[in-house]
Protein backbone atom coordinates (compact mmCIF):
# COMPACT_ATOMS: atom_id res chain seq x y z
CA UNK A 1 0.00 0.00 0.00
CA UNK A 2 1.20 3.51 -0.80
CA UNK A 3 1.83 5.56 2.29
CA UNK A 4 2.90 9.02 3.38
CA UNK A 5 5.62 9.39 5.98
CA UNK A 6 5.13 12.10 8.60
CA UNK A 7 8.35 13.81 9.63
CA UNK A 8 9.26 16.94 11.55
CA UNK A 9 11.49 18.32 14.26
CA UNK A 10 10.70 17.55 17.92
CA UNK A 11 7.87 19.55 19.56
CA UNK A 12 6.22 20.70 16.34
CA UNK A 13 3.02 18.72 16.97
CA UNK A 14 3.68 15.48 15.08
CA UNK A 15 2.36 13.21 17.83
CA UNK A 16 -0.66 15.42 18.33
CA UNK A 17 -1.47 15.27 14.63
CA UNK A 18 -0.72 11.58 14.40
CA UNK A 19 -2.92 10.87 17.36
CA UNK A 20 -5.81 12.58 15.62
CA UNK A 21 -5.06 10.58 12.47
CA UNK A 22 -5.12 7.24 14.27
CA UNK A 23 -8.26 8.08 16.19
CA UNK A 24 -10.24 8.90 13.08
CA UNK A 25 -10.85 5.15 13.27
CA UNK A 26 -11.77 4.51 9.69
CA UNK A 27 -9.96 1.16 9.68
CA UNK A 28 -11.47 -0.18 12.88
CA UNK A 29 -14.97 0.80 11.77
CA UNK A 30 -14.89 -0.57 8.24
CA UNK A 31 -12.23 -3.22 8.09
CA UNK A 32 -12.62 -5.00 11.44
CA UNK A 33 -10.08 -7.71 10.67
CA UNK A 34 -7.28 -5.42 9.62
CA UNK A 35 -4.34 -5.29 11.95
CA UNK A 36 -3.37 -1.77 12.80
CA UNK A 37 0.20 -1.00 13.63
CA UNK A 38 0.85 1.68 16.22
CA UNK A 39 2.79 3.90 13.84
CA UNK A 40 0.19 3.73 11.07
CA UNK A 41 -2.83 5.99 10.71
CA UNK A 42 -5.47 5.38 8.08
CA UNK A 43 -7.74 8.26 7.14
CA UNK A 44 -10.80 8.45 4.91
CA UNK A 45 -10.60 10.60 1.81
CA UNK A 46 -13.71 12.78 1.95
CA UNK A 47 -15.95 12.13 -1.04
CA UNK A 48 -19.42 13.65 -1.13
CA UNK A 49 -20.36 11.44 -4.08
CA UNK A 50 -20.60 8.38 -1.86
CA UNK A 51 -23.65 9.36 0.23
CA UNK A 52 -25.46 10.33 -2.99
CA UNK A 53 -24.66 6.95 -4.55
CA UNK A 54 -25.71 5.18 -1.36
CA UNK A 55 -29.04 6.96 -1.52
CA UNK A 56 -29.77 5.85 -5.10
CA UNK A 57 -28.77 2.27 -4.35
CA UNK A 58 -30.11 2.21 -0.80
CA UNK A 59 -26.72 0.89 0.28
CA UNK A 60 -26.26 -0.36 3.82
CA UNK A 61 -22.69 0.89 4.07
CA UNK A 62 -20.36 3.51 2.67
CA UNK A 63 -16.69 2.67 2.22
CA UNK A 64 -14.51 5.63 1.31
CA UNK A 65 -11.01 5.49 -0.14
CA UNK A 66 -8.26 5.86 2.43
CA UNK A 67 -4.79 7.29 2.77
CA UNK A 68 -2.19 5.70 5.01
CA UNK A 69 0.14 7.84 7.08
CA UNK A 70 3.20 6.45 8.82
CA UNK A 71 4.74 8.16 11.83
CA UNK A 72 8.45 8.41 11.12
CA UNK A 73 9.93 9.39 14.46
CA UNK A 74 13.50 10.42 14.94
CA UNK A 75 14.40 13.05 12.41
CA UNK A 76 16.77 15.38 14.23
CA UNK A 77 19.77 17.40 13.18
CA UNK A 78 22.51 14.95 12.30
CA UNK A 79 20.16 12.06 11.47
CA UNK A 80 21.98 11.49 8.17
CA UNK A 81 25.12 10.81 10.24
CA UNK A 82 23.29 8.39 12.49
CA UNK A 83 22.39 10.86 15.27
CA UNK A 84 19.28 9.95 17.28
CA UNK A 85 17.74 6.90 15.67
CA UNK A 86 19.12 8.15 12.37
CA UNK A 87 19.55 4.90 10.51
CA UNK A 88 16.26 3.41 11.60
CA UNK A 89 14.64 6.65 10.59
CA UNK A 90 16.17 6.59 7.13
CA UNK A 91 15.09 3.03 6.40
CA UNK A 92 11.52 3.74 7.57
CA UNK A 93 11.20 6.80 5.42
CA UNK A 94 12.64 5.08 2.37
CA UNK A 95 9.58 2.79 2.28
CA UNK A 96 7.04 5.61 2.01
CA UNK A 97 5.84 7.07 -1.29
CA UNK A 98 5.57 10.67 -0.17
CA UNK A 99 6.68 12.79 2.76
CA UNK A 100 4.61 15.14 4.88
CA UNK A 101 6.66 17.51 6.99
CA UNK A 102 4.93 19.00 10.02
CA UNK A 103 6.19 22.55 10.52
CA UNK A 104 5.56 24.49 13.70
CA UNK A 105 3.98 27.91 13.29
CA UNK A 106 2.14 28.09 16.63
CA UNK A 107 3.76 30.09 19.40
CA UNK A 108 3.60 28.69 22.91
CA UNK A 109 6.05 29.67 25.63
CA UNK A 110 5.38 26.39 27.43
CA UNK A 111 6.46 24.26 24.48
CA UNK A 112 10.16 24.63 23.83
CA UNK A 113 11.48 24.73 20.32
CA UNK A 114 14.61 22.66 19.66
CA UNK A 115 16.37 25.64 18.10
CA UNK A 116 15.04 28.17 20.58
CA UNK A 117 12.70 30.00 18.25
CA UNK A 118 9.74 29.30 16.01
CA UNK A 119 10.84 29.68 12.40
CA UNK A 120 9.14 27.71 9.66
CA UNK A 121 11.81 28.64 7.10
CA UNK A 122 14.66 27.40 9.32
CA UNK A 123 12.82 24.19 10.26
CA UNK A 124 12.13 23.34 6.65
CA UNK A 125 15.77 24.00 5.85
CA UNK A 126 16.95 21.78 8.72
CA UNK A 127 14.84 18.84 7.63
CA UNK A 128 15.66 19.32 3.96
CA UNK A 129 19.36 19.41 4.79
CA UNK A 130 19.18 16.06 6.57
CA UNK A 131 17.33 14.47 3.69
CA UNK A 132 19.71 16.01 1.17
CA UNK A 133 22.77 14.77 3.09
CA UNK A 134 21.31 11.27 3.23
CA UNK A 135 20.68 11.37 -0.52
CA UNK A 136 24.18 12.65 -1.21
CA UNK A 137 25.59 9.57 0.51
CA UNK A 138 23.35 7.33 -1.60
CA UNK A 139 24.33 9.19 -4.76
CA UNK A 140 28.06 9.04 -4.03
CA UNK A 141 27.91 5.29 -3.47
CA UNK A 142 25.93 4.81 -6.68
CA UNK A 143 28.36 6.98 -8.67
CA UNK A 144 31.35 4.81 -7.81
CA UNK A 145 29.54 1.80 -9.19
CA UNK A 146 28.04 3.60 -12.20
CA UNK A 147 31.36 5.13 -13.30
CA UNK A 148 32.80 1.64 -13.49
CA UNK A 149 29.79 0.28 -15.33
CA UNK A 150 29.62 3.18 -17.77
CA UNK A 151 33.07 2.32 -19.07
CA UNK A 152 31.90 -1.10 -20.21
CA UNK A 153 28.27 -0.52 -20.94
CA UNK A 154 26.73 2.32 -22.96
CA UNK A 155 23.31 1.94 -21.31
CA UNK A 156 24.78 2.80 -17.95
CA UNK A 157 25.92 6.18 -19.25
CA UNK A 158 22.46 7.78 -19.33
CA UNK A 159 21.95 6.66 -15.79
CA UNK A 160 25.35 7.94 -14.75
CA UNK A 161 24.46 11.34 -16.17
CA UNK A 162 21.10 11.39 -14.41
CA UNK A 163 22.74 10.58 -11.10
CA UNK A 164 25.41 13.24 -11.69
CA UNK A 165 22.67 15.80 -12.31
CA UNK A 166 20.99 14.76 -9.09
CA UNK A 167 24.29 15.19 -7.27
CA UNK A 168 24.63 18.74 -8.59
CA UNK A 169 21.12 19.59 -7.47
CA UNK A 170 21.72 18.13 -4.01
CA UNK A 171 25.10 19.83 -3.66
CA UNK A 172 23.33 23.08 -4.45
CA UNK A 173 21.10 22.48 -1.43
CA UNK A 174 17.96 21.63 -3.36
CA UNK A 175 15.77 18.56 -3.24
CA UNK A 176 15.33 16.39 -6.33
CA UNK A 177 11.57 16.90 -6.08
CA UNK A 178 11.79 20.71 -5.88
CA UNK A 179 14.23 20.76 -8.80
CA UNK A 180 11.68 18.84 -10.86
CA UNK A 181 14.21 16.29 -12.14
CA UNK A 182 12.99 13.37 -14.21
CA UNK A 183 13.30 10.54 -11.71
CA UNK A 184 12.84 7.55 -13.98
CA UNK A 185 16.54 6.74 -14.19
CA UNK A 186 16.96 7.50 -10.50
CA UNK A 187 14.19 5.19 -9.39
CA UNK A 188 16.24 2.34 -7.97
CA UNK A 189 18.25 4.71 -5.78
CA UNK A 190 15.09 5.40 -3.75
CA UNK A 191 16.19 8.94 -3.06
CA UNK A 192 14.37 10.55 -0.15
CA UNK A 193 14.21 13.99 -1.71
CA UNK A 194 12.76 12.58 -4.93
CA UNK A 195 9.55 11.75 -3.11
CA UNK A 196 6.67 14.19 -3.42
CA UNK A 197 6.50 16.57 -0.47
CA UNK A 198 3.56 17.98 1.46
CA UNK A 199 3.99 20.63 4.15
CA UNK A 200 1.66 20.58 7.12
CA UNK A 201 1.80 23.94 8.87
CA UNK A 202 0.70 23.58 12.47
CA UNK A 203 -0.79 26.94 13.41
CA UNK A 204 -2.56 28.38 16.44
CA UNK A 205 -6.34 28.22 16.64
CA UNK A 206 -6.67 31.94 15.90
CA UNK A 207 -4.49 31.55 12.79
CA UNK A 208 -6.39 28.77 10.99
CA UNK A 209 -8.60 31.19 9.08
CA UNK A 210 -5.88 33.80 8.48
CA UNK A 211 -5.77 34.05 4.68
CA UNK A 212 -2.75 36.34 4.61
CA UNK A 213 -0.67 33.97 6.71
CA UNK A 214 -1.88 31.03 4.61
CA UNK A 215 -0.76 32.74 1.40
CA UNK A 216 2.68 33.40 2.89
CA UNK A 217 3.12 29.81 4.03
CA UNK A 218 1.97 28.42 0.70
CA UNK A 219 4.38 30.66 -1.18
CA UNK A 220 7.19 29.45 1.04
CA UNK A 221 6.91 25.87 -0.25
CA UNK A 222 5.31 26.15 -3.69
CA UNK A 223 5.09 24.16 -5.93
CA UNK A 224 4.82 21.63 -3.10
CA UNK A 225 1.38 21.50 -1.51
CA UNK A 226 0.67 23.02 1.88
CA UNK A 227 -2.01 22.05 4.39
CA UNK A 228 -2.62 24.55 7.16
CA UNK A 229 -4.21 23.21 10.33
CA UNK A 230 -4.15 23.31 14.10
CA UNK A 231 -3.11 19.87 15.29
CA UNK A 232 -4.37 20.41 18.83
CA UNK A 233 -7.75 21.53 17.51
CA UNK A 234 -7.91 18.51 15.18
CA UNK A 235 -7.25 16.15 18.06
CA UNK A 236 -10.15 17.71 19.98
CA UNK A 237 -12.43 17.73 16.94
CA UNK A 238 -12.01 14.02 16.37
CA UNK A 239 -13.79 13.15 19.63
CA UNK A 240 -16.94 15.12 18.85
CA UNK A 241 -20.04 13.92 17.07
CA UNK A 242 -20.81 15.34 13.65
CA UNK A 243 -23.08 18.19 14.71
CA UNK A 244 -20.79 19.35 17.50
CA UNK A 245 -17.78 19.13 15.22
CA UNK A 246 -19.47 21.23 12.54
CA UNK A 247 -20.39 23.87 15.08
CA UNK A 248 -16.87 24.05 16.47
CA UNK A 249 -15.39 24.20 12.95
CA UNK A 250 -17.64 27.08 11.98
CA UNK A 251 -16.74 28.97 15.14
CA UNK A 252 -13.12 29.01 13.92
CA UNK A 253 -14.03 30.00 10.36
CA UNK A 254 -13.22 26.62 8.80
CA UNK A 255 -15.48 24.68 6.46
CA UNK A 256 -13.71 21.33 6.63
CA UNK A 257 -11.53 19.54 9.19
CA UNK A 258 -7.80 19.88 8.53
CA UNK A 259 -7.49 16.09 8.53
CA UNK A 260 -9.91 15.91 5.61
CA UNK A 261 -7.83 18.41 3.67
CA UNK A 262 -4.68 16.50 4.53
CA UNK A 263 -6.26 13.26 3.30
CA UNK A 264 -7.35 14.85 0.01
CA UNK A 265 -4.00 16.52 -0.64
CA UNK A 266 -2.18 13.32 0.31
CA UNK A 267 -4.29 11.24 -2.04
CA UNK A 268 -3.64 13.62 -4.90
CA UNK A 269 0.07 13.86 -4.14
CA UNK A 270 0.35 10.08 -4.32
CA UNK A 271 -1.04 10.23 -7.87
CA UNK A 272 -4.19 8.35 -6.97
CA UNK A 273 -7.79 8.57 -8.09
CA UNK A 274 -10.97 6.66 -7.34
CA UNK A 275 -13.66 4.79 -9.16
CA UNK A 276 -16.95 3.83 -7.59
CA UNK A 277 -19.04 0.71 -7.19
CA UNK A 278 -22.53 0.65 -5.74
CA UNK A 279 -25.16 -1.85 -4.67
CA UNK A 280 -27.52 -2.58 -1.79
CA UNK A 281 -24.65 -3.86 0.36
CA UNK A 282 -22.27 -0.94 -0.06
CA UNK A 283 -21.31 2.13 -2.00
CA UNK A 284 -17.60 2.15 -2.24
CA UNK A 285 -14.66 4.15 -3.58
CA UNK A 286 -11.72 2.11 -4.89
CA UNK A 287 -8.24 3.47 -5.15
CA UNK A 288 -6.28 3.27 -8.40
CA UNK A 289 -3.29 5.01 -9.92
CA UNK A 290 -4.12 7.87 -12.25
CA UNK A 291 -3.97 6.34 -15.73
CA UNK A 292 -4.97 2.83 -14.63
CA UNK A 293 -6.80 0.72 -17.22
CA UNK A 294 -10.13 -1.03 -16.66
CA UNK A 295 -8.56 -4.47 -15.98
CA UNK A 296 -6.13 -2.90 -13.49
CA UNK A 297 -9.07 -1.25 -11.77
CA UNK A 298 -10.85 -4.61 -11.65
CA UNK A 299 -7.75 -6.16 -10.08
CA UNK A 300 -8.13 -3.78 -7.17
CA UNK A 301 -11.32 -5.65 -6.21
CA UNK A 302 -9.94 -9.12 -6.88
CA UNK A 303 -7.07 -10.52 -8.92
CA UNK A 304 -9.58 -12.92 -10.54
CA UNK A 305 -11.51 -9.92 -11.84
CA UNK A 306 -8.37 -8.72 -13.59
CA UNK A 307 -7.38 -12.13 -14.95
CA UNK A 308 -10.85 -12.92 -16.26
CA UNK A 309 -11.71 -9.37 -17.33
CA UNK A 310 -14.17 -9.16 -20.24
CA UNK A 311 -15.52 -5.66 -20.10
CA UNK A 312 -16.63 -2.90 -17.80
CA UNK A 313 -20.06 -1.32 -17.75
CA UNK A 314 -19.41 2.31 -16.93
CA UNK A 315 -21.43 5.44 -16.30
CA UNK A 316 -19.93 8.68 -15.08
CA UNK A 317 -21.08 9.76 -11.64
CA UNK A 318 -22.57 13.00 -12.99
CA UNK A 319 -24.54 11.21 -15.72
CA UNK A 320 -25.86 8.73 -13.19
CA UNK A 321 -26.99 11.52 -10.86
CA UNK A 322 -28.64 13.38 -13.70
CA UNK A 323 -30.53 10.27 -14.81
CA UNK A 324 -31.45 9.36 -11.23
CA UNK A 325 -30.95 5.62 -11.55
CA UNK A 326 -28.87 3.07 -13.43
CA UNK A 327 -31.92 2.03 -15.46
CA UNK A 328 -32.68 5.59 -16.49
CA UNK A 329 -29.01 6.17 -17.35
CA UNK A 330 -29.10 3.08 -19.58
CA UNK A 331 -32.30 4.25 -21.26
CA UNK A 332 -30.64 7.60 -21.91
CA UNK A 333 -27.66 5.89 -23.54
CA UNK A 334 -25.25 7.09 -20.87
CA UNK A 335 -23.94 3.66 -19.88
CA UNK A 336 -20.90 2.54 -21.89
CA UNK A 337 -19.26 -0.84 -22.39
CA UNK A 338 -15.51 -0.41 -22.13
CA UNK A 339 -12.82 -2.92 -23.05
CA UNK A 340 -9.41 -3.78 -21.68
CA UNK A 341 -7.64 -0.70 -23.05
CA UNK A 342 -10.00 1.78 -21.43
CA UNK A 343 -8.26 4.27 -19.13
CA UNK A 344 -10.37 4.90 -16.05
CA UNK A 345 -11.67 8.37 -15.30
CA UNK A 346 -12.13 9.69 -11.77
CA UNK A 347 -15.69 9.06 -10.60
CA UNK A 348 -16.53 6.30 -13.06
CA UNK A 349 -19.30 4.16 -11.59
CA UNK A 350 -18.45 0.63 -12.65
CA UNK A 351 -19.71 -2.91 -12.89
CA UNK A 352 -17.18 -5.43 -14.19
CA UNK A 353 -17.94 -8.45 -16.38
CA UNK A 354 -15.45 -11.24 -16.05
CA UNK A 355 -14.85 -14.98 -16.55
CA UNK A 356 -13.96 -17.06 -13.55
P1 LIG B 1 6.15 16.24 18.51
O2 LIG B 1 7.37 16.20 19.36
O3 LIG B 1 6.41 16.90 17.20
O4 LIG B 1 5.46 14.93 18.36
O5 LIG B 1 5.14 17.25 19.24
P6 LIG B 1 3.86 16.95 20.14
O7 LIG B 1 2.71 16.55 19.30
O8 LIG B 1 4.23 16.06 21.27
O9 LIG B 1 3.56 18.43 20.69
C10 LIG B 1 4.47 19.10 21.53
C11 LIG B 1 3.66 20.02 22.44
O12 LIG B 1 3.05 21.04 21.64
C13 LIG B 1 2.53 19.33 23.18
O14 LIG B 1 2.48 19.87 24.48
C15 LIG B 1 1.30 19.71 22.37
O16 LIG B 1 0.15 19.76 23.20
C17 LIG B 1 1.65 21.08 21.86
N18 LIG B 1 0.98 21.39 20.60
C19 LIG B 1 0.86 20.58 19.51
N20 LIG B 1 0.16 21.20 18.53
C21 LIG B 1 -0.15 22.44 19.02
C22 LIG B 1 -0.86 23.55 18.49
O23 LIG B 1 -1.34 23.53 17.35
N24 LIG B 1 -0.95 24.66 19.30
C25 LIG B 1 -0.42 24.69 20.56
N26 LIG B 1 -0.56 25.80 21.30
N27 LIG B 1 0.23 23.65 21.08
C28 LIG B 1 0.36 22.54 20.34
140 C-alpha vs ligand 1 centroid, how far in Å? 37
Least reliable range by pLDDT among 13-17, 18-22, 111-115, 166-170: 111-115
Nearest-atom index, ligand 1, CA of 230? 23
Tens of pLDDT, residue by residue over 186-241, are 988 999 999 999 999 999 998 999 999 999 999 999 989 999 999 999 999 988 98
Candidates 40, 51, 134; CA nearest to 87 is: 134
Res 89 pLDDT > 80: no
Pocket residues: Cβ below 6 A from ligand 1: 8, 10-16, 106, 108, 111, 202, 204, 230-232
344 in Cβ contact with 293 (< 8 Å): yes
Candidates 265, 36, 98, 108; CA nearest to 256 is: 265
For the beta carbon of residue 183, count every other beta carbon within 10 angstroms: 15
Task: Please tell me the residue having the least CA distance from ligand 1 atom 14.
Answer: 111
Nearest-atom index, ligand 1, CA of 106? 24
* pLDDT, average across residues 53-75: 90
Domains of the chain listed by start with CATH number? 1-47+64-271 (3.40.50.300), 291-354 (3.10.20.30)
Q: What is the percent of the chain with per-residue pLDDT over 90, rounded to a whole number?
A: 69
> How close are the terminal C-alpha atoms of the chain, in Å?
26
- DSSP conformation class of 39: T
Tens of pLDDT, residue by residue over 274-316, are 999 999 999 999 999 999 999 999 999 999 999 999 999 999 9
User: pTM of the entire structure?
Assistant: 0.88
331 C-alpha vs ligand 1 centroid, how far in Å? 56
225 C-alpha vs ligand 1 centroid, how far in Å? 22
Tens of pLDDT, residue by residue over 91-135, are 788 889 999 999 999 988 788 777 778 889 999 999 999 899 999
Res 82 pLDDT > 60: yes
* Residue of 71, 231, 233, 237 with the most ligand 1 atoms within 8 Å of its CB, for mutation: 231
Nearest-atom index, ligand 1, CA of 17? 7
Amino acid sequence: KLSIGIVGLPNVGKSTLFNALTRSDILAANYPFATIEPNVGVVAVPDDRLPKLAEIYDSEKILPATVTFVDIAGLVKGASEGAGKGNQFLSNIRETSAIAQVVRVFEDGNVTHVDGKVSPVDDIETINTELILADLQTVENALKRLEREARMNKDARAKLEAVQTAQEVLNGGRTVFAAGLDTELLYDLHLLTAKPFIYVFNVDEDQVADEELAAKLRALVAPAQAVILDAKFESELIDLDEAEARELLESTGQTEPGLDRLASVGFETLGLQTYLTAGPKESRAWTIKQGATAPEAAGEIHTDFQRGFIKAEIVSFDDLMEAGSMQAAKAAGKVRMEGKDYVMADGDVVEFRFNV
